Amino acid sequence: MVSTTVMENGKSSPPRKPCSVGIGPGNYQIVGWDMDTTGKRVIDEICQIAGYTPSCSYSQYVMPYKDLNPPAMKRHNMKVVTIGKFRVLKENKTNKVLKTKSEVSALTDFLTWLESIKSDATDGVILVYHEPRKVIPAMLLESLKKYNLLDRFKQTVKGFANGFNVAEAKCTSTVNAFTLRTLSRTLLNQEKELDNAKDRACLALQIVQHLSSLEHTNGTEANGSGDSDSAIQKTVEFIREFVQPIEVEEQEYAELKIVFERQNSLKPIFGVLLRVNRRERQHTSPLRRLLAEAGIEYSQLQEAWSNGKKEGLEKLIREKLIAAEEKKIEDLLIVLEGHFDPEKKPRSRILQDKQEIKMENNKISDDHKNNNKCDSDTHSPDTTTSNSPLKPKSELEDSAFIPEE
């Protein structure tokens, strides 16, 4: 899940600062938490769920219905393979078959574990995770809702705290990157493998504990253990302002689903472009998201084109995207005009750049050929007699592309 720009009365409001709601004082239990998934979309499936406290931990692999996408296979060091009539989850490196459960069984066991460690924390559990692009809280809530487990979850868990936001707020002047790997190396002096959800859950909790101890000791004799009750309470107090209650997460996800629906309505424009290659996806995906977050649907673009062609599109885009960069507006207009006017090719700036490069290379090739011909006419004797055959054309073309030293 990502923070979005919400439209009100046709005007864009600035994105809400993530995890800025916070919770009141209380008696809370903090738990490191993470999940491995088949991809990074909310509709993707869980393939491992893990929780960690200094006294106990939980980890369970889940058998997904679909395969992991290639980036997820590499990131999580696992893959789905078929053995005979059965699909199994295997580690990539060791080729070891992993013991899995169904998603509903794993979630039920996870809830039972959370209830057991809640203990005397009368105000509930805070799940601490670490993710630059917030996705897994929405994925967890969606999965719990699917199996009618959300109400039970709410009775135990108060909210989520993203360690990435904590580190970003507290380490801006000392750390350039806020990834788990960088923070582990910089703050804890540890090099850990991060392909397992259990290890990341442990590390997410250790980092916020370490940052808490640094703040309470002013940087002297700090350590990341935080095992004592007093240390845990200090950590809770330290991260309270970063905790997002479940109700707020649900509200944000509901708003985000509206953005997803708008993105789907834009499929006639961006569907083909997103399948071209990775570079094209990186270029056009933010443009599609920009339109969706501004509240623009395909029907509005169609109407704007019908009423005023390119000028109509530009008027709509500039009215809705008041704070957008000029380059992004120009790129959007290129894509949109190329879609609604098929004679306007190419349909994206990248494809346009490729065509311009190709045309420039052809021009250079023609110039080389002309120069070679002129030099031959001016300085060389006539060798095109019947006794002197012409040099093959392919050799002339090849020589024209030899790079100059």
Over the chain, what is the mean pLDDT? 80
For every residue of 90-156, DSSP letters joined together read EETTT-PEEPEE-HHHHHHHHHHHHHHHHTT-TT-EEEEE--SS--HHHHHHHHHHHTT-HHHHHHH
Q: What average pLDDT score do residues 265-271 get?
A: 90
For the segment 60-73, what is each residue's pLDDT rounded down to a tens digit? 999 999 999 999 99
- Listed in order, the ranges of the chain carrying CATH 3.30.420.10 are 28-73+101-216+228-242
Interhelix angle 180-187/197-217, rounded to 10 degrees, is: 50
Residue 317 binned pLDDT confidence (cut-offs 50, 70, 90)? very high
Q: Which residues touch 14 (CB under 8 Å, ≥6 apart)?
A: 5, 323
Query: Band of the pLDDT at 120, cuts 50, 70, 90?
Result: confident
The region of weakest confidence among 240-249, 257-266, 372-381 is: 372-381
Q: Which of 20-34, 74-88, 221-235, 262-276 has the highest mean pLDDT?
A: 74-88
* CATH fold for domain 28-73+101-216+228-242: Nucleotidyltransferase; domain 5 (3.30.420)
CA angle 57, 45, 70 (to 5 degrees): 100
* pLDDT number for residue 241: 92
What number of other Cβ atoms are within 10 A of residue 38's Cβ? 22
CA 128 to chain centre: 19
Lowest mean pLDDT among 146-160, 225-239, 256-270, 388-402: 388-402
* Calpha distance 354→272 (Å, rounded): 17
Average pLDDT over residues 238-263: 90
pLDDT-derived band at 348, boundaries 50, 70, 90: very low
CB–CB of 132/179 below 8 Å?
Answer: yes
Is residue 130 scored above 90 in pLDDT?
yes
Longest alpha-carbon distance in the chain: 104
Question: How far apart (Å, rounded) are the C-alpha atoms in residues 273 and 283?
Answer: 9
Tell me, what's the pLDDT at 392? 38
Q: What is the pTM of this model?
A: 0.71
**How close are the terminal C-alpha atoms of the chain, in Å?**
51
Q: Are strands 46-52 and 86-91 parallel, antiparallel or unpaired?
A: unpaired
pLDDT at 387: 40
Closest C-alpha to 46, from 65, 66, 62: 62
Query: What tens digit of pLDDT does each residue of 176-197 get?
Result: 888 889 898 888 888 888 889 9
H or E segment to which residue 192 belongs: none
